[in-house]
């Protein structure tokens, strides 16, 4: 049985989308047990329409809902202990839930998660990992906004965490990992990136294959299973990809409605266009994972629809079922053990 805590008050639509999304996830994974947090009147009005979900859930009434416009500092100060967001995270800390899922304010969710759960041993800064649609299927990109600017050790930490997530989510025994850079040559890029690449290559981790540097064009190609960067670049790349998807969708809609022949062509190719729309919809590939904390937190896209939120719950389910936290801890410990061994000078036997 996997226990999932859900903040029902997050996102652009609140309980009217989140509750049906949770119900859909329950249909796929009937062994899940949910603890649902939210404002009683709003949530129960929707929950009463989903008796199977009520049967598999415990509802906890909360006094406050964190607004999508709240600054992280405001969310932490103003009655955080009474909010649905805090209490869903706290359920993970107390062991009452295995994972928390929220579509709420990203900054507030990260601030509360970090304050409540704290970072793991050997982790300086957390990261947000996004699932990225590619020509090969899906990849993981991190960090997409938690840590602005990162030194070499933080990039190495992100690499370990991203590789562990790929093993947990995609069930790949040995994923490929690349560092995002302005070129693939070893001499290019910032010193932090070059240093991280050198240290990762020297460690020769058995749990993933280090590919080397990748460029922006490799994100969509799916050149590697995991792309590692710092939060500023990662967030810009994410928002650019989402904006480009909407732009292309707008071009296609305009082109298909321009002439009678175009509309007829669209009618015959509708299935292909529907598939393309689904591939390009950021809400369908949903569920950012907060990595590096003493507990698992999943961030759903705020504008996700019912299917999108159900997909975020699915990600949380997979992270728990496949032991994400233990995989991260194992890789971090192994890396530091290998680095310590490399730092010890070799003994010269000829001198004895």
For 221-264, the DSSP string reads HT-SSEEE--HHHHHHHHHHHHHHHHHHHHHHHHHHTSSHHHHH
55-96, pLDDT tens digit by residue?
999 999 998 888 888 888 877 776 678 899 999 999 999 999
Structure tokens at 195: 């240093």
Last residue in a domain, options 117, 140, 170: 117
Cβ atoms 300, 9 nearer than 8 A: no
For residues 178 and 57, membership in a common domain is answered with no
Q: How many structural domains are present in the chain?
A: 2
Inform me whether the pLDDT recorded for 346 exceeds 70: no
CA–CA–CA angle 170, 172, 178 (5° rounding): 90
Inform me whether the pLDDT recorded for 162 exceeds 70: yes
For residues 263 and 132, membership in a common domain is answered with yes
- Percent of the chain residues past pLDDT 70, beyond the cut: 90
Mean pLDDT of the region 287-296: 91
Last residue in a domain, options 88, 117, 146: 117
Inform me whether the pLDDT recorded for 351 exceeds 50: no
Inform me whether the pLDDT recorded for 161 exceeds 70: yes
* Chain Cα centroid distance, residue 139: 11
What sign does the CA torsion over 185, 187, 191, 195 have?
positive
Mean pLDDT of the region 259-267: 71
Domain presence at residue 78: yes
Read off the pLDDT band of 253 (50, 70, 90): confident
How many other CB atoms sit within 10 Å of the CB of residue 149? Answer: 11
Tell me the three state secondary structure of residue 130.
strand
* Chain Cα centroid distance, residue 308: 13
Write down the pTM of the prediction.
0.84
Question: What local confidence, expressed as pLDDT, does residue 349 receive?
Answer: 37
Domain presence at residue 135: yes
Inform me whether the pLDDT recorded for 204 exceeds 90: no
Residue 73: partners with Cβ closer than 8 Å, 6 or more residues away: 111
Inform me whether the pLDDT recorded for 189 exceeds 90: no
Structure tokens at 202: 């020297």
Mean pLDDT of the region 115-127: 89
Structure-model confidence comparison of residues 202 and 343, the more confident one:
202
For residues 92 and 133, membership in a common domain is answered with no
Domain presence at residue 298: no
Last residue in a domain, options 82, 117, 152: 117
Domain presence at residue 306: no
Least confident of 106-115, 276-285, 297-306, 337-346: 276-285
Helix or strand run (H / E) with residue 41 = helix 40-47
Look over the chain and give the mean of its residue pLDDT values, rounded to a whole number.
86
For residues 113 and 193, membership in a common domain is answered with no
Question: Which string of b and e fits 87-113 if b means at least 16 CB within 10 Å?
Answer: bbbbbbbeeebbbbbbbbbbbbbbbbb
What CATH number should be reported for the domain holding residue 8? Answer: 3.40.718.10
- Domain containing residue 24: 1-117
Domain presence at residue 185: yes
Read off the pLDDT band of 215 (50, 70, 90): very high
Q: How many residues does the chain have?
A: 352
Across 86-162, where does the E strand assignment appear? Answer: 99-102, 127-133, 138-142
Cβ atoms 106, 114 nearer than 8 A: no
Structure tokens at 12: 């652009």
What CA–CA distances, in Å, run from 156 to 12, 189, 206, 272?
35, 16, 15, 40
For residues 192 and 335, membership in a common domain is answered with yes
Q: How far apart are CA 183 and CA 185, in angstroms?
A: 6
For residues 163 and 102, membership in a common domain is answered with no
Mean pLDDT of the region 175-185: 92
Cis peptide preceding 122, ω within 30 of 0:
no
For residues 84 and 136, membership in a common domain is answered with no
For residues 28 and 141, membership in a common domain is answered with no
């Amino acid at each position: 049985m996997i226990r999932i805590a859900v903040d029902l008050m997050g996102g652009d639509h609140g309980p009217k989308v989140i509750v049906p999304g949770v119900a859909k996830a329950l249909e796929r994974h009937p062994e899940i047990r949910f603890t649902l947090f939210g404002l009683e009147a709003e949530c129960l009005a929707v929950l009463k329409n989903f008796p199977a979900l009520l049967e598999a859930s415990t509802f906890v009434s909360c006094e406050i809902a964190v607004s999508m416009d709240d600054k992280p500092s405001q969310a932490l100060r103003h009655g955080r202990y009474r909010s649905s967001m805090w209490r869903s995270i706290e359920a993970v800390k107390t062991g009452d839930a295995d994972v928390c899922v929220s579509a709420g304010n990203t900054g507030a969710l990260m601030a509360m998660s970090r304050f409540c759960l704290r970072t793991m041993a050997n982790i300086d800064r957390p990261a947000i990992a996004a699932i990225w649609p590619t020509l090969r299927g899906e990849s993981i990109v991190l960090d997409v906004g938690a840590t602005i600017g990162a030194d070499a050790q933080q990039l190495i930490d992100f690499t370990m965490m991203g590789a562990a997530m790929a093993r947990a989510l995609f069930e790949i025994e040995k994923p490929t990992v690349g560092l995002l850079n302005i070129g693939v040559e070893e001499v290019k890029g910032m010193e932090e990136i070059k240093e991280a690449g050198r240290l990762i290559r020297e460690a020769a981790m058995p749990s993933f294959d280090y590919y080397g540097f990748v460029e922006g064009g490799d994100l969509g190609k799916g050149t590697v299973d995991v792309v590692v960067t710092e939060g500023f670049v990662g967030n810009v790349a994410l928002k650019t990809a989402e904006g480009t998807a909407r732009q292309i969708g707008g071009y296609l809609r305009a082109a298909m409605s321009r002439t009678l022949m175009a509309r007829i062509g669209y009618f015959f190719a509708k299935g292909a266009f529907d598939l393309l729309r689904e591939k390009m919809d950021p809400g369908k590939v949903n569920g950012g994972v907060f990595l590096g904390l003493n507990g698992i937190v999943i961030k759903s896209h705020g504008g996700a629809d019912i299917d999108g939120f159900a997909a975020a719950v699915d990600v949380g389910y997979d992270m728990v079922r496949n032991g994400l936290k233990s995989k991260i801890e194992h890789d971090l410990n192994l890396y530091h053990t290998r680095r310590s061994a490399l730092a010890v000078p070799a003994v010269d036997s000829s001198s004895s």
